[in-house]
């Protein structure tokens, strides 16, 4: 097929590369000339394992092209995907201005035939009907189209495999013709097919992310109990997760969730609940516990540090991505700077983004061992594999102090005791020296 994707962020770019790799002709529309030039030159602009290679492969095969032009890109396409951002407003409401602006441009460029307009952006219930209304107002009778909702469920860091081997392909549609085309487009992709109406597809996306956020906040709530009672959060939650009705995924204590999806989607579902006059108390607490997890860890560092010189490992909201949107590290660092900490930080991919926010308030180095040199305390915010496998004996020799604050529980308690560290983790006993 020939398809168009509007937007080249995580969702749009990964989707474009995967569909091109299946042999489709894919045009990707952006709005910044500099970014379009870099993408056509093989630079993905974001860090995602395997993405640069997949991008360059399909550019060389001439199955993938990036452009600023809606015409003729859309006229040549059977399917047009909307994959632009829907950031949170101050009140939590999803900002749909980009979605609606794109819908108008699609209407102006549809061919005099049939096109499926597929919204992949995460949008509140009722948005796809508004997209259909916007397009319908601007076209003549010879133009035929249907709007479908196809939310994505990819995770940053595993975006390609999540796109090619998802748990499910979700298609919200009220047209048999559009449904058939979308099922055909996804024929090379595994996963259970779920076909619903538009409203259900929209809500499934928000419900899924909010459920995962709820599990994370529940795990952190239990970690609060554990720290007060002497219980071990990892043992408690591991046993809870063995119940097949619950499952172990996302049931890990830490410093809270972040990224482009969970914070935004929980807020948006709360806002939709208010509009529908639904009690959102559960989701309110999910969000509140997430804030408590970050604040609790910051206070732990402030209270137990031996000196004000602090090294930080990990800045991205999760490993295998350079994304720092709503990353717990940002909130914790702000609080530490307010308390006059001198910070040196390292992250394999995300330092350039944090540097934009903090500038020379933080010292950045290109190696985790350099972070350790002469520092009083060390804090871990992201569970990158290189931190799990690092030589802790060497780290101890480089540090001036011997205090480690582990926000992701990546080290064994007995090992840290044997090495002689004062070790503070989440929901587990403190190892004192």
Q: In the block, which residue shows the tokens 């508004």? A: 130
Integer Cα distance of 306 and 418 in angstroms:
20
Within 305-379, where are the H helices? 328-338, 351-358, 368-372
Task: Determine the number of helices (DSSP H) and then strands (DSSP E) in the chain.
Answer: 17, 14
Q: Which of 320, 382, 260, 262 is nearest to 48 (CA)?
A: 320
Contact status, residue 428 vs residue 233, Cβ threshold 8 Å: yes
> Which one-letter DSSP state was computed for residue 22?
T
**261 assigned to active site:** yes
Q: In the block, which residue shows the tokens 């619903």? A: 196
Contact status, residue 65 vs residue 30, Cβ threshold 8 Å: no
* Count of CA atoms in the C-beta half-sphere (13 A) of 83: 26
Integer Cα distance of 36 and 44 in angstroms:
10
Angle value at C-alpha 278, between 273 and 280, nearest 5 degrees: 70
Within 86-197, where are the H helices? 97-109, 127-138, 159-164, 176-185
What count of residues does the chain have? 433
What string of DSSP letters covers 323-343?
Answer: --TT-HHHHHHHHHHHTT-EE
* Max CA distance (Å), the chain: 78
Integer Cα distance of 395 and 378 in angstroms:
10
Contact status, residue 232 vs residue 427, Cβ threshold 8 Å: yes
Contact status, residue 71 vs residue 35, Cβ threshold 8 Å: no
List, in sequence order, every residue forming a beta bridge with 80; answer none if it has no partner.
4, 117
Integer Cα distance of 399 and 307 in angstroms:
12
> Which one-letter DSSP state was computed for residue 119?
E
Catalytic residue among 17, 119, 226, 261, which?
Answer: 261
Residue 158 has which token pair? 């595993």
Burial category of 37 from C-beta neighbours within 10 Å (exposed 0-12, middle 13-18, buried 19 and up): exposed
Three-class SS state of 168:
strand
Enumerate the active-site residues.
261
């Amino acid at each position: 097929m020939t398809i168009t994707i509007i937007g080249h962020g995580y969702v749009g770019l990964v989707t474009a590369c995967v569909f091109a790799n299946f042999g489709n002709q894919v045009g990707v529309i952006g709005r910044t000339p500099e970014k379009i030039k870099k993408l056509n030159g093989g630079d993905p602009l974001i860090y995602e394992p395997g993405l640069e290679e997949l991008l360059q492969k399909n550019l060389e095969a001439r199955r993938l092209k990036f452009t600023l032009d809606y015409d003729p890109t859309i006229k040549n396409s059977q399917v047009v995907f909307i994959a632009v951002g829907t950031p949170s407003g101050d009140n939590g409401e999803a900002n749909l201005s980009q979605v609606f602006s794109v819908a108008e441009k699609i209407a102006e460029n549809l061919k005099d035939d049939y096109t499926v307009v597929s919204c992949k952006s995460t949008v509140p219930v009722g948005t796809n009907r508004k997209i259909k209304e916007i397009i319908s107002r601007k076209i003549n009778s010879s133009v035929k189209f249907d709007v479908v909702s196809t939310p994505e469920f990819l995770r940053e860091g595993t975006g390609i495999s999540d796109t090619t081997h998802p748990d499910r392909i979700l298609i919200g549609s009220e047209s048999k013709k559009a449904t058939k085309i979308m099922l055909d487009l996804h024929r090379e992709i595994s996963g259970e097919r779920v076909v619903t109406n538009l409203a259900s597809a929209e809500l499934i996306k928000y419900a899924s992310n909010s459920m995962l956020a709820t599990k994370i906040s529940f795990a952190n709530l239990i970690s609060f109990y554990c720290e007060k009672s002497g219980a071990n959060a990892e043992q408690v939650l591991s046993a809870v997760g063995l119940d097949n009705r619950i499952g172990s995924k996302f049931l890990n204590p830490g410093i809270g969730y972040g990224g482009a999806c969970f914070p935004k989607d929980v807020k948006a579902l709360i806002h939709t609940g208010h509009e529908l006059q639904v009690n959102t108390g559960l989701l309110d607490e999910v969000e509140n516990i997430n804030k408590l997890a970050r604040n609790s860890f910051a206070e732990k560092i402030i209270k137990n540090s031996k000196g004000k010189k602090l090294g930080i490992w990990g800045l991205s909201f999760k490993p295998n991505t350079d994304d720092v949107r709503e990353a717990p590290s940002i909130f914790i660092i702000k609080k530490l700077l307010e308390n006059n900490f001198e910070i040196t930080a390292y992250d394999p991919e995300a330092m350039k983004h944090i540097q934009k926010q903090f500038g020379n308030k933080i010292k950045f180095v290109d190696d985790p061992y350099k972070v350790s040199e002469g520092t009083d305390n060390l804090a871990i915010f992201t569970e990158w594999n290189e931190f799990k496998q690092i030589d802790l004996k060497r780290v101890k020799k480089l540090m001036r102090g011997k205090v480690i604050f582990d926000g992701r529980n990546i080290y064994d308690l007995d090992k840290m005791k044997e090495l002689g560290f004062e070790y503070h983790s989440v929901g587990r006993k403190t190892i004192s020296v």
